[in-house]
């Protein structure tokens, strides 16, 4: 991975981007994505490994490696899904307490089964993450992995900042819009094909099969790693470190911090 230089992203451009994303995807986010996550819990991890040609585990390993934990920390995993990140964090540092929040009860039910198999405890909350049900300054660490493409970033990021303790860290990882146009061209076409063959292999529902175009369009209208760095800065995060994978920024890793009050 290599360090990224900041890009130009103004508050106006951020607002326009979020308005466009809402106009394009509100129906998908509200109606189709919840149905997809009813379908995929049992094969979510396996499906991601297949769709990424095996790179998924490398990306998750790289992400967890960046997260610094100390005994006694309170951690929040936003859009926790099947608790893959939460389980790995607890195995990395057993002395933390971890809360998972996700609006999909089906994903979290599978996540609790998986947590039980690994002998770890994760508190589970089923709720829309755009309004986090926690007091201000509640957590030392917040994580968000492989979900921000499906979220309203102008709503969820201020909430994450709010629930972090002063000096607390936010760790983010997702598939992003590649910084290089040529890489983006090939990537978007590969993404549509990979979603299609994964849905076919795992005998997904028709809703899941029909989301191939959405997953491509969601990336095309999302942020490059450089742009997301500037978005974090505008929201109020500081000490932002951004790295991207060697595949032209298909996956970006951000570490940032709530300023000390």
Q: Are 178 and 3 in contact (CB under 8 A)?
A: no
Check residue 187 and give its pLDDT: 80
- The answer to whether residue 1 scores a pLDDT higher than 80 is no
At 12-42, the pLDDT tens digits run 999 999 999 999 999 999 998 998 898 888 8
Q: What is the mean pLDDT of residues 142-152?
A: 96
Beta bridge partners of 139: 164
Residue 180 neighbours by CB distance under 10 Å: 14
Domain that holds residue 245: 2-257
- Helices 181-201 and 44-51, axial angle in degrees (round to 10): 130
- The answer to whether residue 195 scores a pLDDT higher than 80 is no
CATH number at residue 169: 3.40.50.150
Q: What is the mean pLDDT of residues 79-92?
A: 97
- pTM (whole model) above 0.85: yes
Using DSSP's 3-state secondary structure scheme, residue 256 falls into strand
> How many domains does the structure of the chain reveal?
1
Contacts of 258 (CB under 8 A, 6+ apart): 161, 164, 165, 166, 167, 168, 169, 170, 236, 237, 238
At 220-236, the pLDDT tens digits run 999 999 999 999 999 99
């Amino acid at each position: 991975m290599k360090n990224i230089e900041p890009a130009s992203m103004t508050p106006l451009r951020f607002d326009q981007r979020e308005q466009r994303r809402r106009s394009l995807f509100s129906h998908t986010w509200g109606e189709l994505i919840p149905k997809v996550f009813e379908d995929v819990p049992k094969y979510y991890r396996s499906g991601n490994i297949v769709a990424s040609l095996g790179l998924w585990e490398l990306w998750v390993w790289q992400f967890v490696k960046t997260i610094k934990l100390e005994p006694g920390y309170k951690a929040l995993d936003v859009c926790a899904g099947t608790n893959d990140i939460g389980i790995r964090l607890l195995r990395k540092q057993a002395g933390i307490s971890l809360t998972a929040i996700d609006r999909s009860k089906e994903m979290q039910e599978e996540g609790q089964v998986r947590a039980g198999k690994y002998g770890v405890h994760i508190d589970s909350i089923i709720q829309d993450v755009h309004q986090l049900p926690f007091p201000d300054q509640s957590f030392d660490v917040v994580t968000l992995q492989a979900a921000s493409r499906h979220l309203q970033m102008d709503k969820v990021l201020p909430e994450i900042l709010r629930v972090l303790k002063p000096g607390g860290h936010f760790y983010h990882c997702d598939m992003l819009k590649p910084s290089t146009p040529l890489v983006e061209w090939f990537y978007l076409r590969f993404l549509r094909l990979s979603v299609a063959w994964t849905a076919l292999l795992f005998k997904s529902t028709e809703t899941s099969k029909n989301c191939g175009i959405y997953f491509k369009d969601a990336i095309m209208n999302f942020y490059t790693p450089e742009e997301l760095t500037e978005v974090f800065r505008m929201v109020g995060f500081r000490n932002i470190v951004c790295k991207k994978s060697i595949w032209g920024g298909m996956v970006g890793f951000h570490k940032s911090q709530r300023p000390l009050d």
